Structure 1
Amino acid sequence: MDKVVRSASEAVADIPDGSSIAVGGFGLCGVPVVLIDALMAGTVTDLEIASNNCGADGWGLSLLLAEGRIRRVVASYFGDNKEFARQYLAGEVEVEVTPQGTLAERLRAAGAGIPAFFTPTGAGTVVAEGGLVWRHHADGSVAVASPPKEVRSFGGRDHVLEPSLPTDFGLVRAARGDRHGNLVFHASARNFNPLCAMAARVAIAEVEELVEPGELDPDEIHLPGIFVSRVVPLTAEQASEKQIEKRVVRAPEGT
């Protein structure tokens, strides 16, 4: 039952080329940067990433993207990641843009063993009708477009059939975790992390504080250890290294 591994590099060592990986985080909050850095230190490539976004320029998943090691991304937005947008428009990476709530539910459904579900989100739009550009040619023309999806009416309202999103691996970050893999997330860092672990065949969690089994109050656990395969305890320095996406200040009153 002890799922602790000695290092992040050991935890990701068996991730092969071509793997699909669900990665937690929202913007810069709750991103498993230590595990991502461990992937960067290796040679794994041709990855398919499922994540809310693809990191910020020069940080997180953006590092793998900049090295051309990500083949495809399922995400809900581009954010301020200029390299992500450039690669998409240049046809260097395939991107399946998915409504944020739909992305979350596709991951959760995978963990719950649900192969697909109907949602009203996207009905009557190109999300349902097809035609969203997934990949461009280098000249800007359409190389791959989204296919049309099944639509059914429930209660007089159209709903779109969305498939679940299972992945080979999941990388998440938690505030606290025990040796059995039970995890607690801090505030908004919870975001997509539990869902990415649920969707993965092998979920790897980096934890800022490792505790012994029994120390976590069962009512406080956000993700039970059954969904987690490996736990990587962070050093104090690794746990404290966090970025600020937009630093906003104002002049003192009266100046």
Structure 2
Amino acid sequence: MTTTGRATTGTTTGIDKVVASASEAVADIPSGASLAVGGFGLCGTPMALIEALLATGVDGLSVVSNNCGVEDWGLGVLLGARRIAKMTSSYVGENKEFERQYLSGELELELTPQGTLGEKLRAGGSGIAAFYTQTGVGTQVAEGGLPRRYHPDGTVAVASPPKPVATFDVEGEPREFVLEEAITTDYALIHAEVGDRHGNLRFHASARNFSPLAAMAGRICIAQVERLVEPGELAPDDIHLPGVFVHRVVEVGDVEKRIERRTTRPDATAAAAERTS
């Protein structure tokens, strides 16, 4: 992935990676920077960091994340303020402003299969330049032609290019695979439940999602944590992401956690009572 705004600073002083506030943590992110952002839907979204970044006024951002939040939450607040120039995502539903900007030519989109997106981030963080996968073979993912940007009149301004396809013998049968390039970004923004001063992190349940992969891909990883503990308080087997991938940690305390779409079944007891009344 080609990036534009190159990071210029790294860790905080010494092995203690804690910074005082979300604002301080994101202060050096420039306009035009590329970001890998954790989260899935609205689960595990680093909202404090996103709001702090919004307040800086930076724009022209290239963001890699599974999705772009909703209109008033998650990455949607940056999108609504016209701060994002390009999204690399696997799911783009739930956000009408995203749809409007994309179809009107204001936003570039690199649509990527979900598993491939995760592996592109992991590969980037592991120093692997590219990998072959069967996902997308025989489709526009491999053959090219997916609209990345539209003209205001609805015609395609930029389309995805074709990707190299190679044949490998798998279990005695020749199969085609498409070559996918790894992703690295200038910064990563992630949310974790618990972190220590050395940057070791523990996530809560499914809020782990893309966050470890995003952290690996970012040259500078900034983690917001609900609770900060001292080194040694997290047991080695309880650490989901080692501090080697994390450069800054900011404690944000309890944070609001939203659900994109709440679906419930009718209360059977209440329905029965209503029928007998």
**1:57 maps to amino acid:** E
Distance 2:60 2:255 in 1: 31
**Counterpart check, 1:35 vs 2:41:** no
Q: Which protein has the larger Cα radius of gyration, Structure 1 or Structure 2?
A: 2
1:225 to 232, 239, 243: 243
Distance 1:250 1:161 in 2: 44
**2:159 maps to amino acid:** A
TM-score by length of 1: 0.97
**Counterpart check, 1:58 vs 2:76:** no
Distance 1:65 1:169 in 2: 18
Partner of 1:179: 197
- Structure 1's unaligned 5+ residue stretches are none
Aligned counterparts, 1:59-208, within 5 A: 59-155=73-169, 156-208=174-226
Deviation at 1:247, TM superposition (A): 2.0
Partner of 1:23: 37
Deviation at 1:245, TM superposition (A): 1.4
Deviation at 1:240, TM superposition (A): 3.5
Partner of 2:59: 45
**Counterpart check, 1:214 vs 2:228:** no
**2:99 maps to amino acid:** A
Distance 1:230 1:42 in 2: 18
**2:219 maps to amino acid:** R
**1:248 maps to amino acid:** T
Distance 1:62 1:85 in 2: 11
Deviation at 1:14, TM superposition (A): 0.1
Distance 1:252 1:131 in 2: 48
Question: Percent sequence identity over matched residues?
Answer: 63
Partner of 2:11: none
Distance 1:205 1:224 in 2: 12
**Counterpart check, 1:242 vs 2:260:** no
Partner of 2:6: none
How many residues are paired up? 252
Distance 1:123 1:249 in 2: 38
- Structure 2's unaligned 5+ residue stretches are 1-14
Distance 1:177 1:250 in 2: 37
**1:111 maps to amino acid:** G
Please give the secondary structure, in 2, of the residue aligned with 1:181. Answer: coil
Please give the secondary structure, in 2, of the residue aligned with 1:240. Answer: coil
Distance 1:88 1:9 in 2: 29
Distance 1:161 1:154 in 2: 12
Deviation at 1:57, TM superposition (A): 1.6
Distance 1:48 1:244 in 2: 25
Deviation at 1:154, TM superposition (A): 1.1
Stretches (4+) displaced over 3 A: none
TM-score by length of 2: 0.90
Please give the secondary structure, in 2, of the residue aligned with 1:74. Answer: strand
